Structure 1
Amino acid sequence: MTHTAELPDFGADRTLFFIFGATGDLARRKLFPAIYSLFREGKLSERFAVIGLARRPRTNEQFRDDVKHSIEEFARYKSEKDHNWEQFAEHFHYMSLDINKLEQFQQLKTVAEQLDAKFDIGGNRLFYLALAPELFGSVSYNLRDGGLLETEGWRRLVIEKPFGYDLPSAEKLNEQIRQVFQEEEVYRIDHYLGKEMVQNIEVVRFANAFFEPLWNNKYIANIQITLSETVGVEERGGYYDHAGALRDMGQNHMLQMITMMAMEPPSRMEPEDIRDEKVKVLRSLRVFHSPEEVARHVVRGQYDTGEMKGKPVPGYRDEEGVPDDSATETYFAAKVFVDNFRWAGVPFYIRTGKRLPVKTTEVVVEFKNMPDNVYFSRKTKLEPNLLVFRVNPTEGIYLKMNAKQPGSQWGIVPIAMDFCQSCEVGINTPEAYERLLYDAARGDSTYFTRWDEVALAWRFVDRIESAWRDHSSELHRYPAGTWGPDAAQQLLAEDGFKWWPVNGQLEGEVVWATPVTSK
């Protein structure tokens, strides 16, 4: 749900951005294009500046060329069509910085004060740490000791995942940051919360009278969340082997999407009220008390050799930087329960993995079917109604229902009402990082994760990791290019369900209904 209309203008057009890791991939692919799009759309006025910070030596001119190349390659708007490019580029400054040297932070303070005065920014400072998490604490200390927090304006710290490796490391990291910044000044990014259709989940739920009364265990049979990737670990084998799918995707993206689906309506449309409801969901997650419970509810897998688009690909253990005997999971599926009044007994099935057939993120809500012994059910097999949120790469909402087949007496077929938002808006759909950077500059923390959310998510995940580590639970191998191990299918089959197809037409569907569009 977008809250920009309700919130006062906190000064998004008066921000000094400090981009630590300015020569890295994240800045090049996401941050610079996001800032440019905000500027092109009038969400940043002339009163802003960006200081790029990294160890690599660069001149201001070289840095601005780097920014222009990143925008030409990755931005929604192209710089060659912008007659004011030089005016925009003037706001970018570069400084080579060793984050372990306090005296360089003191030099950075001088540069920041000069840019603040030049562009009339008013002392508002946003520090974006596109760095490894173990560096967050030392950077925070040097920002404080270097005098960079001594301004009349606001200061905010934006940090990327992963926030720690487990709960103890996350607690240590949080303690370091909190010695410098208050919790309300810390913005922990999970870029999935910036995606259009993830935010649209709240609107569909709370703005439509015919959904909210059905959004409970009386009418919903199960909810399925799929986040699949076609790529392997590529050059990240060394890093990934110390993380795995559960830490890389489960602790943040997957659990956050469960909270969006399961949260109660907030009492007020304020950031803290919304995040309070998400925390209640995490507190209600059913805890796995034993390795046996973990084994019954969680499947872990690792991709083997296989084919992707007709070409052979190596198995995980054959990837560069991965040990020959690695037991790190590249796939996991789980059956999760939210034990509260609304959701008691409804399974939330989640799955994520690498080297799967398609790249997609979807949420499928399967409603309870009609009784087998009444009216149409006695004459034909009825399929359950489905509501699907298509998050990526296609953005849209899909509703499957049953209707009479034309020309038949009793023929009933599933039909689709399919709204494709990305088809309507096209390439100019705002990127997740644009929304999140804009929100951070405005002081809207709705779609950033609070510390208690992070801690509760780690507590849930750590129990699973502990069971895997200490009791050598089975690691299922699956061929690359398939939908994971057979055990993941059995996880649903034992409850009488199945994984619904994703990223396209559902099986058995007859698409003769007129598509729903916004026109």
Structure 2
Amino acid sequence: MSKQINSKEPFAMVIFGGAGDLAQRKLFPALYTLHRSGFLPDNFSVLGVGRSPRETEDYRQFLRNAITQFARTEVDNEEEWSSFAERFDYLSIDVTDAGTYDELERAVAEQEKQFSLPGNRLFYLAVAPKLFGVVAENLKAGGLTENNGWKRLVIEKPFGRDYLSAEALQEQINRSFPEEEVYRIDHYLGKEMVQNIEVLRFANSLFENLWNNRYISNVQITAAEIVGVENRASYYDSAGALRDMVQNHILQLLMMVAMEPPSHLNPEAIHDEKVKVLRSLRRYEEHDVSQYMVRGQYTGGFIDDKEVPPYLNEENVPEGSTNETFVAGKLYIDNFRWSGVPFYIRTGKRMAEKSTEVVIQFRDVPKHLYFNKDNNLGSNLLVIKINPEEGLALQMNAKKPGVANQVVPIMMDFCNNCGVDTPEAYESLIRDALEGDRTFFTNWEEVSLAWRFIDPIRQAWDQEGEETLAPYESGSYGPKEADALLDQDGFQWVSPYHPETEKKPVVRGQEISD
């Protein structure tokens, strides 16, 4: 990838929500690991911003506790720790009050003077989405964007609730930060094996030559969780799996798999090709939704032999909620490469196991011929394992040793994180933001086109209420209606993939109905 700046260039970072859960679990551990790995400059500063008052030493102890609990790198040198922690400070202000940003500007300028920083500023919004636009405007009003170096704004999801709200937020933010200075985080894009999809495709002629509708029968994308709504009910019940997972994470995976080779390996060229995928993604009118999309809500059941409650009994979930905790769909990309190939997507909470995988299923060998005379030969599969396992698996057919003409599936398996402590997603993304590399951040066109695809689906479900809400037992793989999406085309869900337990990785059917 091309880089716009030197990654060791000094900077000042301001974390809004600097005492919140995201800072504690992800941002602090990422910064410390980057520091220990030599990816941060010698000179930098971090200012946490929050509403609750905290003394500097209390904040640094909070920082220490977070890193001890959540970082993959241990604190084993007190002198080194002290030099790292002294660069962190805290300021209590009301981020909705533009008048308090004068105080913020003074605090940042103080840190820049103390550590001889040139004026490069990274603003990280780890706050509620309703505050994104307000903070961006107040930063400009308070003079914090009138700095001598570069400035960048990092934003967590969700970016809007639909296309219209996202468009309004974009206009509000662009009054303070132009698009090239906005870094929208999708932590899936920071995962090692998601970034590896690009290398797998464009560094291997073997796969790129087969990466089309002549050789691929279907693509399956699964993002399954075993956890329920936990303490996120206030947000999740108004978002649902469609907004929370499909609009961003799932569609990003789809773009990475389906994009054309970019003209150059730079952010602009890669974003151009990803956007083309969304432009070619078949949009469903409201009356088409029931044919191509399935939604569900988990009932009670067992996870790891422990009984768990139904969604409606979870804390802070409104009585009678029709919010979906599961989404499955059959998507089509109407371009020359992918015409006729179904992309099956599936995501849900309280499922049988935690697994994020992309399965490329290749077309079957001709029927009634050679070793497929009984039409039961297993399909060739390429499995991209993203989480919790990281790696690649390629399934082929071979003769069973010692048995004449008996064919069995064999697996070529590569594990990316076996015995290796791979970087966390936030380590990669924070480093990229500091380097000015927007490759694995979402740009406005991706966000807007994703919402244009999602909005009709959301509107159809909102009108239908519980009529199309399929129940599924906690600890299962989702409602039977999701299986039917594939059954009608002659396919079955492959993921989560377990080669040691699969007798036949199964999936018959060469013809594709649409």
Do the aligned partners of 2:354 and 2:388 also contact (CA within 8 Å) in 1? Answer: yes
- Residue 414 of structure 1 aligns with which residue? 409
Structure 1 residue 238: Cα displacement: 2.5
Aligned partner of residue 403 in structure 1, secondary structure:
strand
1:253 matches 2:246: no
- Unaligned residue ranges in structure 2 (runs of 5+): 506-514
C-alpha distance 338-380 of structure 1, shift in aligned 2 (>3 A): closer
Aligned residue among 321, 324, 327 for 1:329: 324
Structure 1 residue 172: Cα displacement: 1.1
Deviates more, 1:111-120 or 1:341-350: 111-120
Inter-partner Cα distance in structure 1 for 2:227 and 2:42: 40
1:430 matches 2:423: yes
1:301 matches 2:291: no
Inter-partner Cα distance in structure 2 for 1:283 and 1:110: 45
Alignment of structure 1 residues 62-461 onto 2, 5 Å:
62-81=58-77, 83-291=79-287, 293-378=288-373, 381-425=376-420, 428-461=421-454
C-alpha distance 496-201 of structure 1, shift in aligned 2 (>3 A): same
Do the aligned partners of 1:415 and 1:509 also contact (CA within 8 Å) in 2? Answer: no
Report the AA paired with residue 500 of structure 1: V
Aligned partner of residue 405 in structure 2, secondary structure:
coil
Inter-partner Cα distance in structure 1 for 2:336 and 2:317: 45
Structure 1 residue 321: Cα displacement: 1.4
Inter-partner Cα distance in structure 1 for 2:414 and 2:149: 43
Structure 1 residue 11: Cα displacement: 4.3
Inter-partner Cα distance in structure 1 for 2:252 and 2:238: 22
Inter-partner Cα distance in structure 2 for 1:133 and 1:41: 32
C-alpha distance 290-107 of structure 1, shift in aligned 2 (>3 A): closer
Q: Deviations over 1:116-160 (max 9, x none)?
A: 122222100000000111111111111111111111100000000
- Residue 37 of structure 1 aligns with which residue? 33
- Residue 517 of structure 1 aligns with which residue? none
Alignment: residue pair count:
504
Inter-partner Cα distance in structure 1 for 2:491 and 2:291: 16
Inter-partner Cα distance in structure 1 for 2:387 and 2:415: 11
Report the AA paired with residue 65 of structure 1: Q
- Residue 459 of structure 2 aligns with which residue? 466
Inter-partner Cα distance in structure 1 for 2:204 and 2:237: 44
C-alpha distance 11-310 of structure 1, shift in aligned 2 (>3 A): closer
Aligned partner of residue 341 in structure 1, secondary structure:
coil
Deviates more, 1:468-477 or 1:349-358: 468-477
Structure 1 residue 510: Cα displacement: 9.2
Give the superposed CA RMSD.
Answer: 1.5
Inter-partner Cα distance in structure 2 for 1:486 and 1:85: 53
1:477 matches 2:462: no
Q: Deviations over 1:167-198 (max 9, x none)?
A: 11111111110111100000000000000000
- Residue 499 of structure 2 aligns with which residue? 505
- Residue 23 of structure 1 aligns with which residue? 19
Deviates more, 1:472-481 or 1:199-208: 472-481
Inter-partner Cα distance in structure 2 for 1:503 and 1:17: 41
- Residue 509 of structure 2 aligns with which residue? none
Aligned partner of residue 366 in structure 1, secondary structure:
strand
Aligned partner of residue 373 in structure 2, secondary structure:
helix
Structure 1 residue 471: Cα displacement: 3.5
Inter-partner Cα distance in structure 2 for 1:80 and 1:422: 24
Inter-partner Cα distance in structure 1 for 2:97 and 2:286: 47
Structure 1 residue 10: Cα displacement: 3.3
Structure 1 residue 103: Cα displacement: 3.0
Inter-partner Cα distance in structure 2 for 1:178 and 1:319: 39
Report the AA paired with residue 84 of structure 2: F
- Residue 516 of structure 1 aligns with which residue? none
Inter-partner Cα distance in structure 2 for 1:234 and 1:224: 27
Deviates more, 1:337-346 or 1:300-309: 300-309
Report the AA paired with residue 434 of structure 1: E
Structure 1 residue 82: Cα displacement: 5.4
Inter-partner Cα distance in structure 2 for 1:252 and 1:258: 10
Structure 1 residue 12: Cα displacement: 4.2
Deviates more, 1:437-446 or 1:74-83: 74-83
Aligned partner of residue 18 in structure 1, secondary structure:
strand
Inter-partner Cα distance in structure 2 for 1:506 and 1:256: 30
Report the AA paired with residue 454 of structure 2: V
Do the aligned partners of 1:158 and 1:186 also contact (CA within 8 Å) in 2? Answer: yes
- Unaligned residue ranges in structure 1 (runs of 5+): 512-519
Q: Deviations over 1:15-39 (max 9, x none)?
A: 1110000111000000001011111
Inter-partner Cα distance in structure 2 for 1:234 and 1:471: 26
1:489 matches 2:478: no
Report the AA paired with residue 416 of structure 1: M
Q: Deviations over 1:390-442 (max 9, x none)?
A: 000111001100000000110100001111111042xx211100100000011
Inter-partner Cα distance in structure 2 for 1:198 and 1:501: 16
Deviates more, 1:318-327 or 1:461-470: 318-327
C-alpha distance 341-333 of structure 1, shift in aligned 2 (>3 A): same
Inter-partner Cα distance in structure 2 for 1:168 and 1:28: 32
Inter-partner Cα distance in structure 1 for 2:154 and 2:214: 40
Structure 1 residue 54: Cα displacement: 0.3
Inter-partner Cα distance in structure 2 for 1:63 and 1:82: 17
Report the AA paired with residue 168 of structure 2: K
Q: Deviations over 1:196-233 (max 9, x none)?
A: 00000010101001110100000000000000010111
TM-score normalised by length of structure 2: 0.96
Report the AA paired with residue 226 of structure 2: T
Structure 1 residue 503: Cα displacement: 5.1
Q: Deviations over 1:45-74 (max 9, x none)?
A: 221100010011111111111111100111
Structure 1 residue 101: Cα displacement: 2.4
TM-score normalised by length of structure 1: 0.95
1:61 matches 2:53: no
C-alpha distance 387-327 of structure 1, shift in aligned 2 (>3 A): same
The percentage of aligned residue pairs carrying the same residue is: 53
